[in-house]
Structure 1
């Protein structure tokens, strides 16, 4: 009985013995862990904690600097993207305007002549010439006398303009106005054969119902040639000596094709 009591007492002594004081006995695994934790707590000083905090702060600062750099790159990329979008938007607007301009020009230069098939007849003029109906017109910027102007038009396969309708006259007046006020252009009308009897360069006689005189021809000796010009009131026809120098208007056929 006494031996049993002694055995229990020894066992209790082992359980309540402080870590590290094993009275000659080897510590168990659990006791080792507890001892290590206590030892670590004793070894952790405020200086160690500050060092750890500084290291963590340094890492966070480095990470923040990296993020800030990334944000700067993204911001610059965003600005470049914005500029690219603005350029594309401007280009789109320009192309849209050109598309509708070409669309309108198509109807002007290539009107539909067969609604059932939607076929179009295109009328094309050389560069710097202007289309009206199915004719092309060249408004020169140089000046010559009437005879040299006539010969120039013939040399390029055309003639000094012959005006055959009020619509054609209005077209010429509008075009001349855009090129400059008070500018005179020779047309293909003169009275070289018979004084006072005006004929076109194709020798057809001027019809009085298709005439647009601002200044009625006066009877004076010498040949008169007609030019398109303006006074303070309106555009129209004037006559002067054929030897004077002025600009001139050539008229010729356009190129036609079907699409």
Structure 2
């Protein structure tokens, strides 16, 4: 992605042919991914974001859930604001009661307990979104992933099985 950003700058400054092709290839790949993703049944929330919830028969490990979302042109959902959590609960009421869903947050590839949303922003251990006594299962040498159940976040071994919630990238728009 850094190489693409440099190409965009070079393209604007010098009009480089290689960079023009790199930018065009990236835009084409993004368009193809979005076109494929938009063929699924997405739920659009009032914040403009689109989500897809796996059904009750799709209980899988976190890495499988992540792969399923990526295969559909999306990623596991990241919750950035309290309002977003409420919108998700309103759109998918089963999250608030009996169903557990994998989200993008994990400490995979990082220090135990260093949770991040999909490799991006931190998910602090003192966040009010965590359920009582959570996070709790992180230990050195054991990766843990985050799921939502009963309106709260829980950390569990990534090998446990749950449903999953995918989020469509912001640059994918319905036509």
Question: Does TM, normalized by the shorter one, top 0.5?
Answer: yes
2:165 equivalent in structure 1: 249
Q: What is the DSSP-based 3-state SS (H/G/I as helix, E as strand, rest coil) of the residue aligned with 1:218?
A: coil
Instruction: Give the equivalent residue in structure 1 for 2:41.
Output: 128
The answer to whether the 8 A contact 2:96-2:149 is kept is no
CA distance in 1 between counterparts of 2:95 and 2:147 reads 15
Indicate the residue corresponding to 2:91 in structure 1: 175
The one of 167, 184, 187 aligned to 2:100: 184
Q: Which has the higher helix share?
A: 1
Q: CA deviation at 1:145?
A: 0.3
Aligned residues, how many? 129
What is the CA distance between 1:165 and its match in structure 2? 0.7
Which string of whole-angstrom CA distances, capped at 9 and with x for unpartnered residues, describes residues 115-138 of structure 1?
A: xxxxxxxxxx65421002221100
1:200 and 2:117 aligned: yes
How much has 1:199 moved relative to structure 2? 0.9
Distance 1:211 1:131, change over 3 A: farther
Matched position secondary structure for 2:115 = strand
Going by fraction, where is strand more abundant, 1 or 2? Answer: 1
Instruction: Tell me the alpha carbon deviations over residues 10-56 of structure 1, each in whole angstroms, 9 at most, x when there is no partner.
Output: xxxxxxxxxxxxxxxxxxxxxxxxxxxxxxxxxxxxxxxxxxxxxxx
Q: Which one of the candidate residues 118, 129, 146 is aligned to 1:226?
A: 146
TM-score, with structure 1 as normaliser? 0.45
Give the direction of change, closer, same or farther, for the CA distance of 1:172–1:153 in structure 2 (3 Å limit). Answer: same
Alpha-carbon contact 2:95-2:149 (below 8 Å) kept: no
Distance 1:179 1:228 in 2: 7
User: Does the CA contact (< 8 Å) of 1:164 and 1:210 recur in 2?
Assistant: no
Whole-angstrom CA distance in 1 between matches of 2:138 and 2:54: 29
RMSD (Å), alpha carbons: 2.3
Q: Which runs of 4+ in 1 moved over 6 A?
A: none
Larger Rg, first or second structure (1 or 2): 1
For residue 166 of structure 1, the aligned residue among 66, 82, 101 is 82
Greater mean alpha carbon deviation, residues 204-213 or residues 246-255 = 204-213
Distance 2:166 2:54 in 1: 8
Give structure 1 stretches of 5+ with no counterpart.
Answer: 1-124
